[in-house]
Structure 1
Amino acid sequence: MARFVQIIEFKTSRIDEIEELGRPSRTEGSTAPTFGRILATADRDRSGTYLTIVEFESYESAMENSNRPETSDFAARMAALCDGPPVFRNLDVMWEDTAGTADVS
């Protein structure tokens, strides 16, 4: 199974509230999250625009994570703090090069 990345782009003037909302969702819940890593980023060229990059071992593990009640609750609460609907990008990892070592999936 190929690795999978989801990018969530959103606009908000309430980023501090979103950050506070996100902390417990990463560590609490009845089941362990299936993501491997989350990167929270701010767009330097578009003020108030943020992207969250979430890495998974596979598309299937991403869907498993999406089906968690904690994830659905977080998404609904986060959307209420955004200045518009978030945009989701669902990406299959084709290859990766880290520190000069290519990893072809």
Structure 2
Amino acid sequence: MAGFIQIIEYRTSKPEEIAALMEDFRAKREAEAGGPSPVRGVTGADRDESGRYFSIIEFASYEEAMENSNRPDTSEFAEKMMELCDGPTTYYNLDQVALQEYR
């Protein structure tokens, strides 16, 4: 299994603005249809700690994730996101070792 997952932990008082930024980034990527992109993304709000969020981004491989990270539009997105965060973000980089799907 070659999948790669990045978890981004962040705090913000502007979740709607970050959601709009993420949607704009996704739409532009989809319209371009070129180069490496995430396979899936999920964002969750911490129920126990208001203002804390986690984005879970899945890639087909570590190599595609690194290619994605090196794209100018990814850097621009990250800079804009940091402006909307209340402090630094924490990144977790995970090799996918198992997948269970429940239906």
Going by fraction, where is strand more abundant, 1 or 2? 1
Give the 4+ runs in structure 1 shifted more than 3 A: 29-33
In 2: Cα distance, 1:41 partner to 1:59 partner: 23
Amino acid at match of 1:12: T
Per-residue CA deviation, residues 41-70 of structure 1 (Å, 9 max, x unaligned), is 101111000000000110001111111111
Q: For the residues of structure 2 that align with 1:99 and 1:38, how far apart are their CA atoms?
A: 18
**RMSD of aligned alpha carbons:** 1.6
Q: Which of the two has greater helix per residue? A: 2
For 1:47, the aligned partner's letter is S
Deviates more, 1:25-34 or 1:61-70: 25-34
Give the structure 2 partner of residue 20 of structure 1.
20
Which residues of structure 1 form unaligned runs of 5+?
A: 101-105
Runs of at least 5 residues in structure 2 that lack an aligned partner in the other structure: none
State, as a whole percentage, how many aligned pairs show the same letter: 49
Higher normalized contact order (CA 8 Å, seq sep 6+, divided by chain length): 2
In structure 1, the partner of 2:46 is 43
Instruction: Provide the residue aligned with 1:99 in structure 2.
Output: 102
SS in structure 2 at match of 1:28: helix
TM-score after normalising by structure 2? 0.89
